[in-house]
Amino acid sequence: MIKNTFLFLDGFGSNRERNIWSQNISDWNEFIETRSIKGIADKKKKFFDRQIIKAGSALRNNDSEFFAKLLPQSEHWRLYDQFKDEAIFLDIEVSHCADGFITVIGLYDGYETKTMIEGINLNFNYLKEELRKYKMIISFNGSVFDIPFINKKHPNIIPNIPHFDLRFCCSKLGITGSLKEIEESFGIKRRQIIKDLKGGDAFTLWRMWRATGDEYYLSLLIEYNEEDTINLKLIADKVFDKLKNNCKN
């Protein structure tokens, strides 16, 4: 999808991009090979050609940061098919929304989960090194909550890579609600006891485990967070396909 996108070009918005597509110019190669494009002066066209060539070089070098800087964050989803095999799905649990601390960080790379829990294995130096392995972050509402919360409490942890926030991409499709509500709209099921848990219940589980040492509470907390991160991938796959099809129509 990224090779069909022109939004990283100077002064380009969605209307201008659609104007290019309407001229049967659907990707970067066709743009460069077309000598004259309606609405673009010849001198400006040469400048855009150079920008596209530079973008192509970044893509061959697997440089996702190049696009994170140029594309609007709301359009980072367009990079998903290019970088999904090197993406990390992230979700955090906290004690309080504003002044609290992180109790759990869950990561899923598409194959296995890693759950870091305060008081057990939550190490922010390790988290920083772990996140450096990836080319893209996928979250649900992470651009509003998870990432700012981490940055506020632990600066310089999050790499400057594209961020596919499913909450806002779902909204583009007219799909709204909490993560669990959106999961249900896509037919994604959870175990009933996990399904009944709310966001604040994660902290309650953490406190109960810390107070009693009962592994039951810890196992529920881990399952709750793991399902959050795993289900992000299931949603991302579906949302990307829908957004991609919308662009073609």
Least confident residue range of 44-53, 166-175, 197-206 = 197-206
Question: Rg for the chain (alpha carbons), in Å?
Answer: 21
Q: Please tell me the distance from the alpha carbon of residue 32 to that of residue 45, in angstroms, as a whole number.
A: 8
pLDDT (tens digit per residue) in 202-237: 888 888 888 999 999 899 899 989 999 999 999 999
Q: Please tell me the distance from the alpha carbon of residue 126 to that of residue 133, in angstroms, as a whole number.
A: 11
Q: Is the pLDDT of residue 1 over 90?
A: no
Q: Is the pLDDT of residue 176 over 90?
A: yes
Q: What percent of the chain shows pLDDT beyond 90?
A: 71
Residue 144 is predicted with a pLDDT of 94
Q: Please tell me the distance from the alpha carbon of residue 79 to that of residue 190, in angstroms, as a whole number.
A: 29
Q: Please tell me the distance from the alpha carbon of residue 55 to that of residue 5, in angstroms, as a whole number.
A: 11
Mean pLDDT of the chain: 91
Out of 1.20.120, 1.10.150, 2.30.30, 1.10.20, which CATH number does the structure's domain 2-61 have? 1.10.150
192 burial (CB, 10 Å; 0-12 / 13-18 / 19+) is exposed
Q: Which fold has domain 82-248?
A: Nucleotidyltransferase; domain 5 (3.30.420)
Mean pLDDT, range 80-107, rounded to an integer: 90
Q: Where are the beta strands (DSSP E) in 86-212?
A: 87-94, 102-108, 113-117, 136-139, 163-165
Position 47 confidence tier, pLDDT thresholds 50, 70, 90 = very high
Give the domain ranges of the chain: 2-61, 82-248
Q: Please tell me the distance from the alpha carbon of residue 147 to that of residue 178, in angstroms, as a whole number.
A: 18
Q: Are 106 and 226 in contact (CB under 8 A)?
A: yes
Q: Are 171 and 156 in contact (CB under 8 A)?
A: no
Q: Is the pLDDT of residue 121 over 90?
A: yes
Q: Which of 92, 199, 203, 207 is nearest to 154 (CA)?
A: 92
Q: Which of 68, 67, 49 is nearest to 59 (CA)?
A: 67
Residue 23 is predicted with a pLDDT of 92
Position 100 confidence tier, pLDDT thresholds 50, 70, 90 = confident
Task: State pTM to two decimals.
Answer: 0.92
Dihedral sign for Cα atoms in the order 13, 16, 20, 23:
positive
CA 136 to chain centre: 7
13 burial (CB, 10 Å; 0-12 / 13-18 / 19+) is exposed
Residue 124 is predicted with a pLDDT of 95
Do 2-61 and 82-248 agree at the fold level? Answer: no
pLDDT (tens digit per residue) in 8-46: 999 888 889 999 999 999 999 999 999 999 989 988 999
Residue 97 is predicted with a pLDDT of 63
